[in-house]
Structure formats: structure tokens, C-alpha cells
């Protein structure tokens, strides 16, 4: 009987493809939008993820994220270094600046000053060049977002920039996760950064700390807070705060939530309508089957098989569509590093199951309510 159910469904090509399209569209919308949402949120922690060697970030108590930080006096570095359990501590500065290119374009950039001696604070990998280039005068390393945006058709290596009215030369390209706003980032030594970014008396944004025992980073961060009066967070905590900041301060969750809800509603509407039409068109056949002696249980299984087939194909197409979308845009810095967390296809699957469960149940009601005697009328 399951075979008959499948043939009934696929025999009506128009409705079959309508149902598959409805599920595929819903799955695509839900999966793709949730994927972009999650990846965008994670961009709130990109500043933390780019510095993989730091176990703990120490900052002014009012600082919230890598991009929303209040500068500390330089003595903070020494205070942190004096805390037992700290293996190393280095200064880290993050500030905004303006760049004028040789073509006269103006670009707002983020300048990140990394430790002069160890270069801790740089992203782990380079697209071009090496971290050592920072030892040369006026050197900066640009991230790949900056490369694409400011030098779309040429290599930026060797290009000179007017960075806050001072000379800077690009000598490398870092493989960095873009920030939430996809701002161009220039990495330079801490001492250079102090020159490039004029400011107030206090200039130190963060102190990056390596723990003697990385597994006890949480305990160490609490000790640093106790002994220095500064705010200290483990890498995971600070990354989470970066994500939370975006959730709290932007309309992104609401907007994406609305789109995902629309995906669900559109799915219910398209699939529900098509499924109802399909059942209505076949109600005589279902009535005949019931009269012949097909139980309601078998009818339920038949409709479930039809829904299952539509769901399987539609869901597969929707997820494939999302994978295609992510792959197609992977070279665009805006989507750099985007991936589909395994939880998202499961959420989409649950949504598809709900859509089919709801619409299948509504359609099934009319079949179950049909009296077999109706076939004689």
C-alpha cells in the first residue's frame, strides 16, 4: 500500500513538485538564514578567535568586547605579569584610524598593535608574507578583507598607505576571520600602533595572557581580577561575550528570527495548500480504498509515506541549496569561513517534520472523516 501511496503522489507531477518545492524552499530559507545568523554572530568573537595563543584577556572593567574596549594605563601590564600562574603577558592595542590610499580613497580601518617581541596578537596564518615583516620600518600587515576591498585587482604587498597622516607600507596579508562589520584590519607592532593611533594618556586596550596551566585558565582569570582589580576573561568567556554583545545590541536576532519564521510559515502555506489539494483530488480514491477494506491505520501510513518522501527530497534539496550557497560565496570575504553548524540541519529537519506533520495531519483529517459510504453517493 505504501507503493500505491507513493505512486498516487508522484503520479500527480504538478502537486508532487509543488510539495517538494515548498519543503525545499522552507528548508533553504531556514537553513541558509540560520547559517548566516550563526556565522554573523560568531563574527562578534572573531577578534578573540584570531588570537589563538592567548588563554586570558585582561581589560578595563568596563570593556565588553574586542571592539568595545576602554584603554588602561600601561602599568596594567606589569600588574598582570606579577600575578602567580601567569606564564607570559603582552600588550595589545586595538583602535580605529583612517587610511588614505594612493588613489585618494578614504577607508576606515582598525589598527591592531601586537607585542613587539613575540608578535602575539597576530592571526596564526598568513595568506602572503610572514609575520617577520613587521620588524621592518613602517610595516603593516593587512587582512584579506582589506585586500579585497582596497586592492581588488592587485596585490597590496609593497603598497604605501597614509595611515592617520603617517606612512605605512603593507608587507603581508593575514588570514584572519573578518570582524562583524567586516572592517579592514591593519596589524602592526605595538610600538608602531602607538604612533599611528594618537590618543589619550592611556592606550593599552588589552593584556593578553598565557597561563602556566591553560586548563586552569578560569582560576587564573579570577586570581588576576582579585589581585589587579581589572577584568579578566578566559578566551571562551570573552568570545561568548562578543557574541552576546551583538545579540543584545543589534536587531539581527529579530530580523533573522522573522525570516526563519517566514520560511516556516511559507512552508506550511505552500505544503498545506498543495497537500490539501492533492488529498481533495484523491478523496474518492481514498474513500474507495476505505470501502474496499483499507484501515485508517494503513491510510495514515500511506499519507505518512507521502509526506516522508516529499520531506526527504525537499529537505535534501534545501540543505544542498544551502551548501551550494555557502560554497558559491566562500571566496567573498563577507562570507569567509562560513560553515553550517551540524545543529542547523537538525533544526531544519525538525521544522520540516513539523510542517509535514501539521499539514499532513490537516489533510489526513478529511480522509479519515470521509465515510466509505460516500463512494456510493
Minimal distance in Å, beta carbon 313 to other proteins? Answer: 17
Q: Which is nearer to other proteins, 4 or 349 (CB)?
A: 4
Alpha carbon distances (Å) from 217 to 47, 71, 95, 237: 19, 23, 27, 11
Query: Looking at the DSSP assignment, which residues form a beta bridge with residue 331?
Result: none
Q: Which is nearer to other proteins, 295 or 343 (CB)?
A: 295
Q: Which residue intervals of the chain are DSSP H helices?
A: 2-11, 13-43, 46-49, 75-81, 144-150, 190-196, 217-228, 235-249, 252-281, 283-292, 296-328, 343-369
Q: Minimum CB separation from other proteins for residue 294, in Å?
A: 5
Task: Please report how close the Cβ of residue 301 comes to other proteins at its closest, in angstroms.
Answer: 12
Burial class (CB in 10 A: 0-12, 13-18, 19+), 288: middle
Least distance in Å: CB of 306 to other proteins? 12
**Cell numbers placing 291:** 470501502
Q: Are 188 and 113 in contact (CB under 8 A)?
A: yes
* Per-residue buried b or exposed e for 39-56, using 16+ beta carbons within 10 Å of the residue's own CB: bbbbbbbbbbbbbeebbb
Q: Is 235 or 290 the residue whose CB approaches other proteins more closely? A: 290
287 binds other proteins (CB under 8 A): yes
Which of 68/368 has CB closer to other proteins? Answer: 368
Closest to other proteins by CB, 124 or 284 = 284
Residues 243-282 that bind other proteins (CB under 8 A): 282
Question: CB atoms < 10 A from the CB of 193, how many?
Answer: 26
Distance CA 311, CA 27 (A): 10
For other proteins, which is the closer residue by CB, 295 or 330? 295
CB of 374 to other proteins, least distance (A): 9
Taking the complex as a whole, the smallest distance from the CB of residue 24 to other proteins amounts, in Å, to 22
Provide the grid cell at 10: 508522484
Query: Which one of 7, 160, 280, 365 is in contact with other proteins (CB under 8 A)?
Result: 7
Residues 127-186 close enough to bind other proteins by CB under 8 A: none
What is the spatial distance between Cα 116 and Cα 96, in angstroms, rounded to a whole number? 20
**Residue with smaller CB distance to other proteins, 191 or 296:** 296
Residue span 290-329 as binding mask against other proteins, x where in contact by CB under 8 A, dash where not:
xxxxxx--x-------------------------------
Shortest approach of other proteins to residue 16 CB, angstroms? 10
Residue 362 half-sphere exposure toward CB, CA atoms < 13 A: 15
Give the range of 19-27, 203-211, 310-318, 367-375 binding other proteins by CB under 8 A.
Answer: 367-375
- Site for other proteins contains 1 (CB under 8 A): yes
Residues that bind other proteins (CB under 8 A): 1, 3-4, 7-8, 10-12, 282, 284-285, 287-295, 298, 371-373, 375-377
Amino acid at each position: 500500500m505504501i507503493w500505491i501511496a507513493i505512486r498516487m503522489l508522484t503520479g500527480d507531477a504538478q502537486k508532487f513538485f509543488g510539495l517538494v518545492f515548498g519543503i525545499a524552499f522552507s528548508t533553504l530559507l531556514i537553513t541558509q538564514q540560520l547559517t548566516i545568523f550563526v556565522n554573523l554572530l560568531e563574527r562578534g568573537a572573531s577578534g578573540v578567535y584570531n588570537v589563538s595563543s592567548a588563554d586570558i584577556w585582561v581589560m578595563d572593567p568596563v570593556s565588553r568586547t574586542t571592539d568595545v574596549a576602554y584603554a588602561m594605563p600601561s602599568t596594567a601590564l606589569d600588574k598582570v605579569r606579577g600575578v602567580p600562574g601567569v606564564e607570559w603577558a603582552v600588550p595589545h592595542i586595538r583602535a580605529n584610524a583612517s587610511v588614505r590610499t594612493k588613489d585618494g580613497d578614504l577607508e576606515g580601518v582598525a589598527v591592531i598593535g601586537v607585542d613587539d617581541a613575540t608578535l602575539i596578537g597576530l592571526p596564526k596564518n598568513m595568506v602572503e608574507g610572514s609575520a617577520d615583516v613587521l620588524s621592518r620600518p613602517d610595516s603593516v600587515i593587512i587582512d584579506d578583507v582589506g585586500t579585497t576591498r582596497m586592492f581588488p585587482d592587485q596585490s597590496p604587498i609593497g603598497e604605501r598607505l597614509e595611515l592617520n597622516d603617517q606612512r605605512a607600507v603593507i608587507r603581508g596579508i593575514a588570514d584572519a576571520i573578518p570582524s562583524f562589520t567586516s572592517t579592514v584590519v591593519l596589524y602592526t607592532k605595538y610600538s608602531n600602533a602607538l604612533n599611528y593611533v594618537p590618543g589619550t594618556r592611556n592606550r593599552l586596550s588589552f593584556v593578553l595572557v598565557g597561563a602556566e596551566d591553560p586548563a586552569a585558565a578560569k582560576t587564573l582569570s579570577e586570581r588576576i581580577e582579585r589581585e589587579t582589580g581589572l577584568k579578566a576573561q578566559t578566551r571562551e568567556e570573552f568570545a561568548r561575550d562578543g557574541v552576546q554583545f551583538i545579540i543584545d545590541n543589534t536587531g539581527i536576532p529579530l530580523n533573522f528570527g522573522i525570516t526563519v519564521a517566514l520560511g516556516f510559515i511559507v512552508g506550511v502555506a505552500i505544503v498545506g495548500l498543495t497537500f490539501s489539494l492533492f488529498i481533495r483530488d484523491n478523496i474518492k480514491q481514498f474513500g474507495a480504498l476505505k470501502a474496499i477494506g483499507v484501515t485508517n491505520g494503513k491510510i495514515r501510513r500511506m499519507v505518512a509515506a507521502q509526506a516522508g518522501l516529499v520531506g526527504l527530497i525537499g529537505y535534501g534539496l534545501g540543505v544542498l541549496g544551502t551548501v551550494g550557497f555557502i560554497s558559491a560565496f566562500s571566496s567573498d570575504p563577507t562570507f569567509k569561513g562560513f560553515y553550517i553548524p551540524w545543529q542547523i540541519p537538525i533544526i531544519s529537519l525538525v521544522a520540516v517534520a513539523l510542517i509535514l506533520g501539521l499539514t499532513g495531519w490537516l489533510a489526513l483529517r478529511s480522509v479519515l472523516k470521509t465515510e466509505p459510504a460516500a463512494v456510493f453517493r
